[in-house]
């Protein structure tokens, strides 16, 4: 076997993003036991920092020991039971995944679908609520990774709660990159990942549940279909000084997450949001000068995940391969109907710098 020696890359795709050297160093910290009192203290600090970065006081806030997709499943399998009615909004890949999981929970799924690259409107939610006036929950994606669309949430949140439902949000590509206010926007269940704007390794999923969501958990009539993701069991591993053993936490990944969250809070959330906007504008100007154009309407455009059409006549797969092999720069291709038609250029977390943009644009000028 050859020694493990992957080529260093400049990560500008849909995730993961580049990691800060402090985060990489944290991963190399010697292991300790997952029930060691020192590790329990680190878990408490991680929980507190997740609350601060979600801008929430929700007590049931913790980190699922699996990637963002498991965070999605954690929210749905705990909140939905057979026979429940829910509304799932779909404007890309990840809304579709939520609908699939909800269906596997035995829920009656009412889909609100719109064209990829667009966002869900309040009019669409009002129409869905006429068909399903008392949903258990309404779920939608804040930042759709497959299209770069940024979904407004506040007005939809008001509609959902006026109907007596819970609001569930996918924040995998928005967390720590754009404005996200869990308590102010009355979000009941939220999940995210660690490998995007947070710039930690993939493999963990911060989640948070409001008091209303916790009440729904406590009122379940059936067992959660997943043992590993059952919050009635997992929450006791993240609560109090005396932890109830549930599973062996990924200690090194938690160390890395602790350091990544510390870096975010040192920078300041609002400063971090502003940095992503500033670098996005710089990237946009450079790309448009080269003949690229944006998929998403300006006011709904996600700054940290840029979905763009290439200049006419350019072979996207060929150029993307050359970027990787000749310049060590990774960008993402399109998904679904946009496969072969767009790029998804990420400027997230540690990859959100003008130096990253200059490296990409310089390479593109040569290749094009």
Is 212 in the same domain as 359? Answer: no
Q: End-to-end CA distance of the chain, in Å?
A: 38
Q: ∠ CA 182-186-190 to the nearest 5 degrees?
A: 50
**Of 233, 265, 297, which marks where a domain is finished?**
265
Is 260 in the same domain as 168? Answer: yes
The per-residue pLDDT for 198 is: 97
Torsion sign, CA atoms 89, 90, 96, 97: negative
Is 317 in the same domain as 250? Answer: no
Q: What share of the chain is helix, strand, coil (3-state, %, to 5)?
A: 40, 15, 40
The per-residue pLDDT for 236 is: 82
Is 224 in the same domain as 303? Answer: no
Is 30 in the same domain as 93? Answer: yes
Helix axes 37-54, 251-267, angle to 10 degrees: 40
**Of 223, 239, 265, which marks where a domain is finished?**
265
Q: Are 96 and 248 in contact (CB under 8 A)?
A: no
The per-residue pLDDT for 244 is: 78
Residue with token string 């890359």:
9
Residue 1, domain member (yes or no)? no
Is 202 in the same domain as 81? Answer: yes
Residue 107, domain member (yes or no)? yes
The per-residue pLDDT for 242 is: 67
* Spatial distance between the Cα atoms of 162 and 155, rounded to a whole number of angstroms: 11
Count of helices and strands (H, E) across the chain: 12, 15
* Spatial distance between the Cα atoms of 167 and 187, rounded to a whole number of angstroms: 5
From first to last of the 368 residues of the chain, give the pLDDT tens digit: 889 999 999 999 999 999 999 999 999 999 999 989 999 999 999 999 999 999 999 999 999 999 999 999 999 999 999 999 999 999 999 999 999 999 999 999 999 999 999 999 999 999 999 999 999 999 999 999 999 999 999 999 999 999 999 999 999 999 999 999 999 999 999 999 999 999 999 999 999 999 999 999 999 999 999 999 999 888 888 876 667 788 999 999 999 999 999 999 999 999 999 999 999 999 999 999 999 999 999 999 999 999 999 999 999 999 999 999 999 999 999 999 899 999 999 999 999 999 999 999 999 999 99
Residue 4, domain member (yes or no)? no
Q: Are 348 and 12 in contact (CB under 8 A)?
A: no
**Tokens representing 32?**
């300790």
Phi, psi dihedral angles at 333 (to 5 degrees): -85, 180
108-113 and 85-90 strand pairing: parallel
Residue with token string 């310089």:
362
Residue 361, domain member (yes or no)? yes
Is 257 in the same domain as 304? Answer: no
> Torsion angle of alpha carbons 236, 250, 59, 139, nearest 10°?
-110
The per-residue pLDDT for 193 is: 97
Q: For position 341, which CATH number holds?
A: 3.90.1150.10
Is 172 in the same domain as 282? Answer: no
For residue 214, the cross-strand partners are none
Is 235 in the same domain as 278? Answer: no
- Report yes or no on whether pTM surpasses 0.75: yes
Q: Domains in the chain: how many in total?
A: 2
**Of 246, 265, 284, which marks where a domain is finished?**
265
Concatenated DSSP letters of 78-140: HH--TT-EEEEEESSHHHHHHHHHHHHTTPEEEEEE--TTS---HHHHHHHHHHSSS-SEEEE
Q: For position 124, which CATH number holds?
A: 3.40.640.10
Residue 345, domain member (yes or no)? yes
Q: ∠ CA 98-102-103 to the nearest 5 degrees?
A: 120
Structural domain including 206 reads 21-265
Is 61 in the same domain as 128? Answer: yes
Q: Are 156 and 328 in contact (CB under 8 A)?
A: no
* Spatial distance between the Cα atoms of 137 and 112, rounded to a whole number of angstroms: 13
Residue 5, domain member (yes or no)? no
Residue 160, domain member (yes or no)? yes
**Tokens representing 239?**
């609560």
Is 298 in the same domain as 248? Answer: no
Is 254 in the same domain as 283? Answer: no
Residue 151, domain member (yes or no)? yes
The per-residue pLDDT for 240 is: 62
């Amino acid at each position: 076997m050859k020694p493990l020696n992957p080529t260093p890359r400049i990560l500008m795709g849909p995730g993961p993003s580049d990691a800060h050297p402090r985060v990489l160093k944290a991963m190399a910290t010697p292991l300790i036991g997952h029930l060691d009192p020192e590790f329990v203290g680190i878990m408490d600090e991680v929980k507190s920092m997740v609350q601060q970065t979600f801008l929430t006081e929700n007590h049931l806030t913790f980190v699922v020991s699996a990637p963002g997709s498991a965070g999605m499943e954690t929210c749905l399998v705990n909140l939905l039971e057979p026979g429940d009615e829910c509304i799932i909004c779909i404007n890309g890949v990840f809304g579709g995944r939520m609908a699939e999981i909800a269906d596997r929970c035995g829920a009656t799924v009412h889909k609100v679908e719109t064209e990829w690259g667009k966002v869900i409107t309040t009019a669409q939610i009002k129409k869905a609520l006429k068909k399903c006036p008392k949903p258990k929950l309404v779920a939608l994606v804040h930042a759709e990774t497959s299209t770069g669309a940024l979904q407004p949430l506040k007005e939809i949140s008001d509609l959902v709660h006026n109907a007596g439902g819970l609001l569930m949000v996918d924040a995998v590509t928005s967390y720590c990159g754009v404005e996200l206010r869990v308590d102010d926007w009355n979000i009941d269940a939220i999940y995210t990942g660690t490998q995007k704007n947070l710039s930690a390794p993939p493999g963990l999923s911060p989640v948070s549940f409001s008091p209303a969501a916790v009440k729904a958990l406590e009122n379940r009539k059936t067992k959660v279909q997943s043992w590993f993701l059952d919050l009635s069991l997992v929450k006791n591993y993240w609560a109090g000084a005396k932890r109830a053993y549930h599973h062996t936490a990924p200690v090194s990944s938690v160390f890395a997450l602790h350091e990544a969250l510390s870096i975010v809070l040192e920078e300041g959330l609002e400063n971090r949001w502003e940095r992503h906007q500033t670098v996005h504008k710089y990237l946009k100007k450079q790309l448009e000068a080269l003949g690229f154009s944006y998929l998403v309407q300006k006011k709904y455009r996600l700054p940290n995940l840029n979905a763009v059409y290439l200049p006419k006549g350019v072979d996207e797969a060929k150029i993307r391969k050359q970027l990787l092999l000749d310049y060590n720069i990774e960008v993402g291709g399109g998904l679904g109907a946009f496969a072969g038609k767009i790029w998804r250029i990420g400027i997230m977390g540690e990859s959100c710098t003008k130096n990253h943009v200059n490296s990409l644009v310089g390479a593109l000028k040569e290749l094009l």
